[in-house]
Amino acid sequence: MEIKNGTFLSSLIVILLEESDDQYKQIKPTFDKHGWAFKHDKNIFFDVPTLRKKKLSDKHNLLFIEAHETSHYILDHKKTSIQNEAEADYGGISLCKSHNLNESYKIGLDVFERRNNISFKDFHKTNGERLHKYLKVHM
């Protein structure tokens, strides 16, 4: 298990779990429900074995995923919805860009339309101004 302060918001704690960690078996059902990473309070948990299997465990993918989960926190999302996931992807892309994490930014852009059935540009037109009011404090 690796534990560190968040890249985008130092008050968040990033926890990278491996199968060998005692907590992994306990938390695995939550990964199965919410995906390869999830936010709980001020913690972001990563399912490293699954990310590794999917070839998404390099630092650029991990940073984009962290930015996505950080956006859920910044935007105060309380539940999972299609809109909230698109907003978190948008926020993740914005955070990566503002921190000059160009490879992570490109990863976010590459997956945005496939994950959200709308282009990043079109989503920005309808949601960008509202979301940037929350995100700009952290960019």
Strand partners, 3: 15
State both tokens at 66. Answer: 């962290």
Q: Tens of pLDDT along 56-79?
A: 999 999 999 999 999 999 999 999
Distance CA(128)–CA(103), nearest Å, equals 21
Distance CA(6)–CA(14), nearest Å, equals 6
State both tokens at 88. Answer: 């978190």
Q: Tens of pLDDT along 86-111?
A: 999 999 999 999 999 999 999 999 99
